[in-house]
Amino acid sequence: MTNKSSTLYTVILVLSLFLFLIKGFQYAVLGSYIPLVLALVICMLFYLNRKKKKALNILIKIWALLIIIWSLLRLLIGTADRFGKELMENHLQENLGVTGSLISLLFLVVGFYLFNKKRRQQWLN
């Protein structure tokens, strides 16, 4: 992998983790610590396995799948809210509105980018 694409993969991976940490802190302020604990555990696993290629490969794949699932769920819930009865509270509608949908689409692309076996294998080598 060229140095430029390796750097891009690293930046995307680190940003995805960092943004989930920020989201975890936001939820912690609201009283839910589970997203923050999950984000910290994932960061800790990345740190502990940074020199083990096989474990890191599996961890990146799992992280990418979690991002993809999270994005798809957000898009489905937001779409269901727009076309069905408005069942959500205001803060959920703000999170799943147009801006939230764009963020979900961006994370969906990031998830597929990180999941791409060729890019992941090249980055690990």
Residues 6 or more apart whose CB falls under 8 angstroms from that of 26 comprise: none
Joined tokens for residue 91: 């803060």
Q: Indicate the SS3 state at residue 79.
A: helix
Given this model, what pLDDT does residue 86 score? 62
Tell me: pLDDT of 59 over 80: yes
- pLDDT exceeds cutoff 90 at 67: yes
Please give the angle made by the CA atoms of 38, 41 and 44, to the nearest 5 degrees: 150
> Running DSSP on this structure, what letter comes out for residue 90?
H
One-letter amino acid at 57 equals N
Side-chain half-sphere exposure of 96, counting CA atoms within 13 A: 22
pLDDT at 36 over 80: yes
pTM score, two decimals? 0.82
Cβ-Cβ contacts under 8 Å for 10 (sequence gap 6 or more)? 123
